Structure 1
């Protein structure tokens, strides 16, 4: 005589079902089918998340300090160049973004070549002589360990200058520190968001058919 087993459907979602069944029925299922338990996704370690979030704050912080330093030093063209970019920000906080730094060290605009190259030179000078001081005297950074993280970040910013495309992969964490593919996807998505939010496709941005250097000249002319 065939035995009767009971079950209850607890939840249905996206083609999956959560069941409550008799233990005897589970034994029957296991005897006739090979069931692999669903692997639990590993959570990204807190330390990796913290590092990734901090890395996104590095460029806005140091570019803002760079702009104020250029003003104090009387580097009028550099200050004007940076303020022109800063003025174009539409967000409430008006923060500099990674895309701004990538443009600075990207293709040279023949019409603003002098100011772009001067700004590059002054950025290198700032990293070498003033960046650490800006961190040490900054009263808004209360935690000493955070100050150390910013100071260590200066070396990462310097190291990027030796690469063929400086700051192009700055938000990507080293592979050995990634716990799963989702972190890499998050990093890629953030890089894309940085590109869009930094004005990559605003009304002044050129298409591939137009002058590829018009963004910088437009930004600087707006300041004037």
Structure 2
């Protein structure tokens, strides 16, 4: 059975009230109003870390989808090129890595020039015509928000193609996030955390408030 707590408003004065309240209920209010410093301090860094973790999953996911697509389309040279890279992976999961994509768009190897250029061309085709479909029909991505994040990531992959060295700094922070993270680290190390954004906020103890009320201090 749910506990029942009572309170009674005794007097109103200048937009404030004097209340008679159950002591247990007051303890619950205290617990909810007090914001712990650690909760405040970890909020922003965690969001940045979460974004970094997702950013690292983008290339392995799409390169794996690209390999399966090349196989389905009968692009034998492209499929063979990708599977040769995939088989060299020593980890149990054998995931593609950002370095594989950087190498694909890096210096041309004279011995594999034709295959490398064809794979580059098919990667561009894949991003433009098939990548979004792969996300939408992928049953392993059940959360719609995550699906949307992967779809948005396709534009990031496309944008990299216009750079002098595609995918060279794909995992780098944006300038805005970089400045934000540096600012947070500096504040934590110095102990001078700004009160308006990260510092803990402690609300006035209701016991003190009631005491002042009865003594006509407001």
* TM-score (norm: length of structure 2): 0.63
Which residue number in structure 1 is paired with residue 145 of structure 2? 145
Distance 2:165 2:46 in 1: 30
Cα–Cα, structure 1 residues 183 and 84, in superposed 2: closer, same or farther, change >3 Å? farther
| Cα-to-partner distance string for 1:7-49 (whole Å, 9 max, x where unaligned) | xxxxxxxxxxxxxxxxxxxxxxxxxxxxxxxxxxx65532211
Q: CA deviation at 1:183?
A: 9.6
Distance 2:160 2:109 in 1: 21
**Structure 1 residue ranges without an equivalent (≥5):** 1-41, 185-224
Contact 2:104–2:116 under 8 Å retained in 1: yes
Query: Is 1:84 equivalent to 2:84 in the alignment?
Result: yes
**Structure 2 residue ranges without an equivalent (≥5):** 1-40, 186-218
Runs of 4+ in 1 over 2 A off after TM superposition: 42-46, 178-184
Which residue number in structure 2 is paired with residue 73 of structure 1? 73
Equivalent residue pairs, number = 143
Which residue number in structure 1 is paired with residue 112 of structure 2? 112
Distance 1:151 1:55 in 2: 12
Larger RCO (CA under 8 A, 6+ residues apart): 2
Query: Is 1:180 equivalent to 2:178 in the alignment?
Result: no
Question: In angstroms, what is the RMSD of aligned CA positions?
Answer: 1.7
Contact 2:70–2:78 under 8 Å retained in 1: yes
Q: Map of 1:1-224 to 2, 5 A cutoff?
A: 43=42, 44-178=44-178, 179-181=180-182
* TM-score (norm: length of structure 1): 0.61
Distance 1:86 1:110 in 2: 21
Distance 2:182 2:164 in 1: 26
Distance 2:102 2:135 in 1: 22
Cα–Cα, structure 1 residues 155 and 183, in superposed 2: closer, same or farther, change >3 Å? farther
Which residue number in structure 2 is paired with residue 11 of structure 1? none
Distance 1:107 1:78 in 2: 17
| Cα-to-partner distance string for 1:124-148 (whole Å, 9 max, x where unaligned) | 0000000000000000001000000
Distance 2:149 2:184 in 1: 21
Distance 2:184 2:133 in 1: 33
Distance 1:153 1:126 in 2: 14
Contact 2:45–2:181 under 8 Å retained in 1: no
